[in-house]
Amino acid sequence: MTEQQQRLPSLNALRAFEAAARHLNFRAAADELGVTQGAVAQHVRGLESELRLKLFERQPRLLALTSAGRSYATHVARAFALLAEATDNLRPQPLRLTISATPSIAAKWLVPRLPEFTGAHPQLELSILASDALANFQSDGVDIAIRQGRPPFGPGLTADLLFEHDIVAICQPAMRPDEEELARLPLLRDGHDLWPEFFERALGRSMPLAIRSTRFNQTALAIDAAIAGQGVALASRFLVEPDLVARRLALATTASMRGGLDFYVVSARKPRHAEQTALVRAWLLAQRG
């Protein structure tokens, strides 16, 4: 041990002093450190005795730093911050992969499933980018994208089918109509506005002109409105399957419509983190059931 190290007070005493200086309260410092109030007070008294100066002014119901105490507290806090930073730098940082998905897919399908993956793979940190913009795997840091499209997606990309785009009409179970009543219920319309096509292709008739409707810019909002009993929405079956199983939603009609663009898991053929990307891709595709 060097002479300088021999002159240093104990680490426990310094930690007790730093916490007490921040809180200006021995009890609060004790709660933070998980020790008794008496232990904090004893550490501070021992430190003052060793330094041969007062660090606190003790008054009834009041604790204040002396001038020397304020200066010392600043330096001790800075030293602890340097120790914490040095320690963090030694610890291996989790590898982060970014998954890009549309806001509705992220909210209704991906996010509810994340705890299963993160619990099984704590060494891998997932970052979710909810965006309708096309992902650029070279410039925007995206590793995997969930997108609607039609193969081929490009020579430098690999894509696997996640779900077919099977469009269904959904509503709160208590509102479930017969097909003749469907046009009399409020229609919840999203940015895709597929209701006119759904009436033509799935129901075999034109959508009535005089019909109540509410518009949303995201499918997830229309689904939430349907759950709240505000009307009938259109959505991809895979997005609402958990709500159908849990009876938060019901099919407003047995008719459905096949969408033109299906959902795919897309990534670069030569990803930056090949092993981890393959792991996440396999997990996403396994969610098809």
* Final residue belonging to a domain, choices 69, 90, 111: 90
Q: What is the pLDDT of residues 271-286, one digit of tens each?
A: 888 899 999 999 999 9
Is the pLDDT confidence value at 5 over 70? no
- pLDDT given for residue 123 in this prediction: 84
Is the pLDDT confidence value at 91 over 90? no
Is the pLDDT confidence value at 4 over 60? no
Q: What is the mean pLDDT of residues 12-17?
A: 94
The pTM score is: 0.66
161/173 same-domain check: no
252/175 same-domain check: yes
- pLDDT given for residue 93 in this prediction: 64
- Mean pLDDT taken over the chain: 89
Is the pLDDT confidence value at 1 over 50? no
Q: What is the mean pLDDT of residues 3-25?
A: 85
151/281 same-domain check: yes
108/78 same-domain check: no
Q: What is the pLDDT of residues 17-39, one digit of tens each?
A: 999 999 999 999 999 999 999 99
247/174 same-domain check: yes
Q: What is the pLDDT of residues 219-246, one digit of tens each?
A: 999 999 999 999 999 999 999 999 999 9
* Final residue belonging to a domain, choices 57, 90, 123: 90
CATH of the domain at 183: 3.40.190.10
41/69 same-domain check: yes
- pLDDT given for residue 224 in this prediction: 96
CATH of the domain at 61: 1.10.10.10
102/77 same-domain check: no
Lowest mean pLDDT among 90-99, 215-224, 261-270: 90-99
33/152 same-domain check: no
Tally of domains in the chain: 3
What proportion of the chain, given as a percentage, has pLDDT over 90?
A: 66
What would the DSSP string read from start to end of the chain? --HHHHHSPPHHHHHHHHHHHHHT-HHHHHHHHTS-HHHHHHHHHHHHHHHTS--EEEETTEEEE-HHHHHHHHHHHHHHHHHHHHHHHHSPPPEEEEEEE-HHHIIIIIGGGHHHHHHH-TTEEEEEEE-SSPP-TTTS---EEEEEE-S---TTEEEEEEE--EEEEEE-GGGPPPTTTGGGSPEEE-TT--HHHHHHHTSSSPPPSS--EEE-SSHHHHHHHHHTTS-EEEEEHHHHHHHHHTTS-EEEEEEEEE-SSEEEEEEESS-TTHHHHHHHHHHHHHTT-
Is the pLDDT confidence value at 182 over 90? no
Q: What is the mean pLDDT of residues 66-89?
A: 91
131/80 same-domain check: no
Q: What is the mean pLDDT of residues 90-117?
A: 88
Is the pLDDT confidence value at 289 over 80? no
Q: What is the mean pLDDT of residues 125-151?
A: 85
- For residue 236, give its domain range: 166-258
232/281 same-domain check: no
248/276 same-domain check: no
154/275 same-domain check: yes
- pLDDT given for residue 6 in this prediction: 58
